[in-house]
Amino acid sequence: MIYVLLSVICSVLVSVLLKLARRFDVDVGQAIAWNYVVAGALTALLLQSSLASLREPGAPWLALAGLGVLLPTIFLALGASVRHAGIVRSDAAQRLSLLLSLLAAFLLFGEQLSGLKVAGITLGLLALLCMVWRNGQGVADSGVAGWLYPLLVLGGFGAIDILFKRVALAGVPLGASLQAMFALALLVAFALQLWRRLRGRTRFTARSALGGVALGLANFGNILFYLRGHRALPQHPALVFASMNIGVVALGALVGVLAFRERLSWLNFSGVLLALLAIGLIAFF
């Protein structure tokens, strides 16, 4: 379980780095672009997977291309969500994206639906509503951004998980698929930053590049330790899955409230607790 714990810490650290970016004058878009340089280099160095499978007929390039576009853009949405809605809501929304993954498993991949999973989905939707609601004022505090970005995070990470499943079904080794995704995401991320630069909206800085290195280390650590957690407990995938999701929601809430003084209404806090219960029902039953 030490690998799962390390993965949880790295995942929450990603949100913390995004939260601190503006305070340290780090451009989030540039940091995300440099993050993929680091993540791609570490994947090639540590996982050392052959890319031959990507040249075979039937390689899932459509799904890989979708991931190459979604990974950097949803990372930007996550950064905006952390800024406008806070770490607590953003991490919970990211983990509740498993609701969409689960629906896809039933509708697209032939998995059987149980009563407890239906209960988990229902609780998850209720949890989401509680977390994005803004103190009886609807969209007051942070405006529309306070609930729109968490919803984008939920939808984006759900779509990413579904595309991951498509890639996995194609039989491409994980290291090769990650290398392809990171390379495509790098191209998309830097294209977005060059477009911003040409429009005079940003300038490349060493500070943002260093922020990207830190982000890349945390992002890759999240993936690496998660994979090692599954390898260490091959007979207990549900335990790893549930521990990861529940751990991120719980630690994210703790860090958000204690370190960043994020304010949660009783309804928001109830949403976090419902999210933990929903994830447990879905993962274990």
* Four-residue CA torsion sign, 246, 250, 253, 256: negative
* CA-closest candidate to residue 67, choices 224, 180, 195: 180
- Measured at the alpha carbon of residue 176, what is the angle toward residues 243 and 218, in degrees to the nearest 5? 45
* CA-closest candidate to residue 281, choices 133, 114, 145, 67: 114
Per-residue pLDDT of the chain (285 residues; tens, 9 = 90+): 799 899 999 999 999 999 999 899 999 999 999 999 999 999 999 888 788 889 888 889 999 999 999 999 999 999 999 988 889 889 888 888 877 877 777 777 676 767 887 888 888 888 877 876 765 444 444 567 778 899 999 999 889 888 887 887 888 887 888 899 999 999 999 999 999 999 988 889 999 999 999 999 999 999 889 878 877 877 776 667 778 878 898 899 899 999 998 888 888 889 889 888 988 887 776
- Going from the C-alpha of 38 to that of each of 27, 197, 257, the distances in angstroms are 17, 22, 30
- List, for residues 168-192, the tens digit of each pLDDT value: 788 888 788 889 999 999 999 999 9
Q: What is the DSSP string of the chain?
A: -HHHHHHHHHHHHHHHHHHHTTTTT--HHHHHHHHHHHHHHHIIIII---SGGGGSTT--HHHHHHHHHHHHHHHHHHHHHHHHHHHHHHHHHHHTTHHHHHHHHHHTS-PPP-HHHHHHHHHHHHHHHHHH--TTSTT-TTTTHHHHHHHHHHHHHHHHHHHHHHHHHTT--HHHHHHHHHHHHHHHHHHHHHHHHHTTS----HHHHHHHHHHHHHHHHHHHHHHHHHHHSTT-HHHHHHHHHHHHHHHHHHHHHHHS-----HHHHHHHHHHHHHHHHHHH-
- List, for residues 12-62, the tens digit of each pLDDT value: 999 999 999 989 999 999 999 999 999 999 999 988 878 888 988 888 999
User: Contact, 172 vs 53, CB < 8 A?
Assistant: yes
The identity of residue 176, as a single letter, is A
